[in-house]
Amino acid sequence: MAWFGKAAGAALGSLFGGPIGAGVGVFLGSILDDSTDEEVPRISAAGSSVIDDVGEHCEITVQTPVPADAVGFFLIQDRDGRNVKAVVDVADEDGEFSRCGPIRGGKCACYIPYTALLVQKPGDYRLVFRVIATDDQPRLLGETTFVQHVPACGPWDRVAYLLPTIRLCMYVAMADGDLSRESLRAVRRACEDEACRSADTQERMRRALKETRAYMPHVTDEDVRDAAEAFRRRYPYLEAEELAGVFLSIARADGPCSHRRTLALQKVLTLLGMTDSAWRDFAEAHSLDGRDYFAVLGLDHAASAQDVRQAYRRLIRQCHPDLFVGEPPEVQADAHRRSIELREAYDALISRLPADPRHHP
């Protein structure tokens, strides 16, 4: 399964102590099934939505007080009350469209990719939102319904759904201006899973990667913001902290994380909701301080550990105190600061690059 698929499953599964892909448990399933034959309490709620080129992000504001552990379930029904079927990516064990998520600050959201719905014809359907308590006595607290319009659309296009993910991954991977084979493989690992193995999907994925790669030299800050917003709409429960490791693996796919990749990584994670303090903790834990240590030593990012040693030895000799005897104090201080900077760069790079322990600076 793709990195982002795993992350999404873990985020939702943690609500119930197990993966949502395997169902939310027999007890919740029975609540949902049996309650449809009884009088269901109504809850007061308001809905809003944002429509993009693939589907619709729906956000429900629950106005009725609910317990802190309550979660929301989204279903789509036809006029006869039958649950709409969907492709496996967004379907439950019965093959029906089903999304769930926590209710945070009175709000719960889901993304409905139109082409994933297996409907006979376009038109107005019912979006059913149910609130369930998940404490020691799981129970249905109530539901509300909204009109859900499903437009005419083509077959399910998984790659189109993944485009915001692809764009953010490629933005990090190509922050240095090029795309190595290792970085491309890391992007594909993050985005692809078993559902992407068909010949048609593989061709679509190759085309999407090629087009994204060609556009990256012209990408703007607004493009990155748009991609991040689309990503957050499609994965409304994923936290930036859960995604940080995925993007870091892309940034380091072909070697130490460069200065520009560090900045790109910070931008993406910030746009996905990471706070400044969380970024500082993450950067410190993974030695990402945003400095381009290769540039400090006058090297490009393909330099080896031996290149680092040679550059350090050459440059540090230029800062030797004996060379500055008789110079003004400020010149001597500059040389001292430069020597410290060079040593920091050397230590940072040698700690990340494969090194022969027999060699020393």
For residue 31, give both structure tokens.
């609540």
Last residue of a domain, one of 132, 150, 168: 150
For residue 207, CA distances in Å to 79, 158, 159, 162 come to 39, 13, 10, 13
Residue 271 lies in a domain: yes
Least confident of 30-44, 168-182, 239-253, 314-328: 30-44
Do 253 and 328 sit in the same domain of this protein? no
Nearest Cα neighbor of 332 from 341, 340, 323 is 323
Q: Which residue has the higher pLDDT, 206 or 341?
A: 206
Q: How far apart are CA 49 and CA 68, in angstroms?
A: 24
Over 60: is that where the pLDDT of 231 sits?
A: yes
Spell out the residues 6+ positions from residue 147 whose beta carbon is closer than 8 angstroms to its own: 124, 125, 126, 127
| pLDDT tens per residue, range 206-220 | 999 999 999 999 999
Do 259 and 347 sit in the same domain of this protein? no
* CATH code for the domain of 228: 1.10.3680
- Which residues pair with residue 117 across a beta bridge? 86
User: Looking up tokens 């990719």, which residue turns up?
Assistant: 113
* CB of 216 closer than 8 Å to CB of 174: yes
Mean pLDDT of 106-135: 94
Bridging pattern class, strands 71-77 and 139-150:
unpaired
Q: Mark out the alpha helices in 177-239 (DSSP H runs).
A: 181-191, 199-215, 221-234
Q: How far apart are CA 99 and CA 12, in angstroms?
A: 9
Over 50: is that where the pLDDT of 21 sits?
A: no
DSSP 107: E
Q: How far apart are CA 116 and CA 131, in angstroms?
A: 24
Angle, alpha carbons 141-144-149 (nearest 5°): 145
Over 80: is that where the pLDDT of 22 sits?
A: no
| pLDDT tens per residue, range 54-107 | 999 999 999 999 999 899 999 999 999 999 999 988 998 899 999 999 999 999
Last residue of a domain, one of 150, 168, 187: 150
Bridging pattern class, strands 85-86 and 117-118:
antiparallel
For residue 238, give both structure tokens.
């994923």
Do 345 and 240 sit in the same domain of this protein? no
| pLDDT computed for residue 7 by the predictor | 47
* CB of 283 closer than 8 Å to CB of 289: yes
* CATH code for the domain of 93: 2.60.40.2550
Do 171 and 286 sit in the same domain of this protein? yes
Do 48 and 98 sit in the same domain of this protein? yes
Residue 360 lies in a domain: no
Residue 359 lies in a domain: no
Q: How many CA atoms lie within 13 A of 164 on its CB side?
A: 20
| pLDDT computed for residue 99 by the predictor | 93
Q: How far apart are CA 354 and CA 350, in angstroms?
A: 7
Do 279 and 238 sit in the same domain of this protein? yes
Amino acid at position 343, single letter = R
Q: How far apart are CA 57 and CA 161, in angstroms?
A: 13
**Could you tell me the residue range of the domain that residue 242 belongs to?**
158-290
Do 17 and 146 sit in the same domain of this protein? yes
Please state, as a whole number, how many other Cβ atoms lie within 10 Å of the Cβ of residue 296. Answer: 20
Do 324 and 223 sit in the same domain of this protein? no
Do 175 and 304 sit in the same domain of this protein? no
Q: Is the pTM of this model over 0.85?
A: no
| pLDDT computed for residue 109 by the predictor | 97
Do 271 and 303 sit in the same domain of this protein? no
Residue 97 lies in a domain: yes
Residue 361 lies in a domain: no
Do 246 and 336 sit in the same domain of this protein? no
216: left (phi over 0), alpha (psi -120 to 50) or beta: alpha
* CB of 290 closer than 8 Å to CB of 247: no
Last residue of a domain, one of 150, 168, 202: 150
Residue 209 lies in a domain: yes
Q: Please give the tally of structural domains in the chain.
A: 3
Do 145 and 171 sit in the same domain of this protein? no
Q: How large is the C-alpha radius of gyration of the chain?
A: 26
| pLDDT tens per residue, range 264-318 | 999 999 999 999 999 989 998 888 866 778 888 999 888 899 999 999 999 999 9
